[in-house]
Chains A and B, each alone.
Chain A
């Protein structure tokens, strides 16, 4: 099976712009979660989608949004970019509902976003 893929791998934007990141989960996986990693920080949970519905959201401002399509592919959007949004954004898929409990997460390689 192909792994989780994320596009693009690298992105450079300027403050005030918006950006869309894409994540294709492993075939058959219906849950997609997004995480942000900044230097010195652990992975911070952004949100989780299951069957096209956002089930859970972390403590991030409304500038961070996402969606999931019927084929389970997910996109994450960040509007009005700030310098502090520079980070590695990882998505992870799981075969069942919930980024939690007994379900290991399968991570993609990440998108490195740099905001200038």
Chain B
């Protein structure tokens, strides 16, 4: 069992504010780290797949960083909007399967 931990479990953000949260994963046998966004009543949607230590990826107002040596990744949301409300899942890959964290649920208040 691969322990992938996400914190915090949930957070509330005021519209316009920026926020970030963490994904911790085993630092050994690393292949890739995935981030997904899961909105209520929809399917999880891939945000990023990160493979290299020091990787930084960006999609619009959302960005992520990766530290494979210490086993963590941060996801940042800049200038949060109500449509950013979702559960953000990270998943660690050891080649043949994805091990998911329990997610961070973000609620953006207008």
Report A's interface with B, CB cutoff 8 A: 3-4, 33, 35, 40-45, 48, 55-56, 58-59, 90, 92, 98-110
Contact = CB atoms under 8 A, between A and B. Distances in A.
Nearest to A109: B43
Contacts of B34: 104-105
B108 interface: no
Contact of A110 (B43, B101, B103): B43
B95 A98 contact: yes
A90 B49 contact: no
A100 B44 contact: no
B44 A90 contact: yes
Interface string B79-110: 00000000001010111111111110000000
B43 A99 contact: no
B62 interface: no
A5 to B, nearest CB: 10
5 closest A-B pairs by CB: A104-B46, A42-B100, A43-B100, A107-B43, A42-B102
Contacts of B103: 42
Interface of B: 1, 4, 31-32, 34, 36, 42-46, 49, 51, 89, 91, 93-103
Given A59-B1, A100-B31, A101-B51, A48 B96 contact: yes
B102 A40 contact: yes
Contact of A100 (B36, B42, B43, B97): B97
Contact of A101 (B45, B46, B89, B95): B95
Contacts of B36: 105, 107
A101 B93 contact: yes
Contacts of A40: 102
